[in-house]
Amino acid sequence: SSIELLESFINTKNFIKNPKEVFQPFLTEKSSAAVRLQVEKHKSDIMLAFQHDNYQIAQTKLDELHALNNVLKNDSIESEYNDCVKKLIHQWNGKIEQAKSVFNKSIVAPHAISKEDVLAYKKTIDELKSADPLRSHLKDAISADALVQNLNDQTHHLISEIEKNMENEIALKVHLDKLAQVKNVFPNFASAYKQACQTLAKLLTNSVNNAKECIEKNKFEEVRKGLEAIVKVLPLQSNLVSLFDVKKEIQHLETLLMTHLNSVVNKGIVVTKRAVKDESDSKKEEKDDNSSSVRVSKLTKSDIELLEANIILLETAMNVFESPCEHFNLSKPIKELFHSFLNEII
């Protein structure tokens, strides 16, 4: 009866204990053709989605293809899945290598890098990072972190080039501007740019200090070389910002040099005035004593040597700075100081 039939159905003793061992998925010839067409369509959709950067669609379709193969355990489906994975890995890794190649060429090129170049590199990083779940299928695909590491390597390369080209202001400008572009697009790399600017500022500060020492030692050729070297980095002022004021330091060195030369002149004038005073006092004594045999020497030997040395020193400075420079012109004030000194002592 129907009741007995129902009772037999609900009797757990009659249940199949391991359905998977009894029921197995299978494909008829007709369904195999349909599955094959569907697999081919999935494969085509996956490749097309990947090529158009629709990584979520590519992953969904790839998940479905993988799941279908797990159910049907079909060699043909597995082969198509593996072929699809292989092609995706090739394209994925190719995309990374292409991005690295284009970016690295821009970094080592002798000209500036455009913001668009850096943005394109960042776009590839962002896209592949968002697509990282795909790598659960693409086991041999390179991580997008490799692009970040490459960026780190390239910034270190730029810093190294900056340190090598400290005396080449054109190369310096190009390298610093490249680091600035990287910093603007990748804020995490701002420290690299700051480090490079600080290195340059430190070198320039050392140059200024060296020029100051040369002023004190009357090494005017070295002073001029130092000034000219500092003048060359004027185009880098926008990079140095508050770290080093090029024009201010040039003006400061000019002031120090003129102060030093004025000190030289003043020492000579003191000697001549003292001699004149001594002569005047001596004449008074001669008049009072009526002693015409007393002869006063205006200058001592050491006084004469000092004046001669100062004249040579001022003349040397005048000759060194005779040819003007666009951003400092010491020729006129030094020449005027020299002739003024001569007029004072002659």
pLDDT in tens, 145-158: 999 999 999 999 99
Contact 196, 179 (CB under 8 A): yes
Quick one: pLDDT at residue 281? 52
- Please give the structure tokens belonging to residue 204: 């320039």
Q: How far apart are CA 180 and CA 184, in angstroms?
A: 6
CB 203 within 8 A of CB 299: no
Higher pLDDT residue, 259 or 162?
259
Predicted local distance difference test score (pLDDT) of residue 27: 62
* Tokens 């020449």, located at residue: 335
25 pLDDT tier (thresholds 50, 70, 90)? low
Of 70 and 18, which is predicted with more confidence? 70
- At 144 the pLDDT is 96
Q: Both tokens of residue 165? A: 């080209």
Give the mean model confidence (pLDDT) for residues 179-202.
Answer: 92
User: Please, which pLDDT band fits residue 163 given cuts at 50, 70 and 90?
Assistant: confident
Mean pLDDT, the chain, whole residue set? 88
pLDDT tens by residue, 316-334: 999 999 988 878 889 999 9
Residues 6+ apart with CB under 8 A from 207: 226, 229, 230
**Overall average pLDDT of the 256-262 stretch:** 97
- Please write the tens of the pLDDT for every residue from 204-229: 999 999 999 999 999 999 999 999 99
In terms of C-beta density within 10 A (0-12 exposed, 13-18 middle, 19 or more buried), how is residue 263 classed?
exposed
pLDDT at 134 over 70: yes
Does residue 290 carry a pLDDT above 60?
A: no
Contact call for residues 317 and 220 (beta carbons, < 8 A): yes
Question: Can you tell me the distance from the alpha carbon of 177 to that of 39, in angstroms, rounded to the nearest whole number?
Answer: 51
- C-alpha span between 124 and 115 (Å, rounded): 14
Q: Looking at the chain, list the stretches that DSSP marks H as alpha helix, in order from N- to C-terminal side.
A: 2-10, 19-22, 29-51, 55-72, 75-108, 115-130, 145-164, 169-185, 190-216, 220-232, 237-240, 246-289, 301-320, 331-345
Nearest to 265 by CA among 328, 319, 331, 334: 334
The percentage of the chain sitting over the pLDDT mark of 70, rounded to a whole number, equals 87
- Say if CB 87 and CB 95 are below 8 A apart: no
Question: CA 301 from chain center: how many Å?
Answer: 60
* Spatial distance between the Cα atoms of 61 and 137, rounded to a whole number of angstroms: 11
Across 14-35, average pLDDT: 68
For residue 292, the model assigns a pLDDT of 34
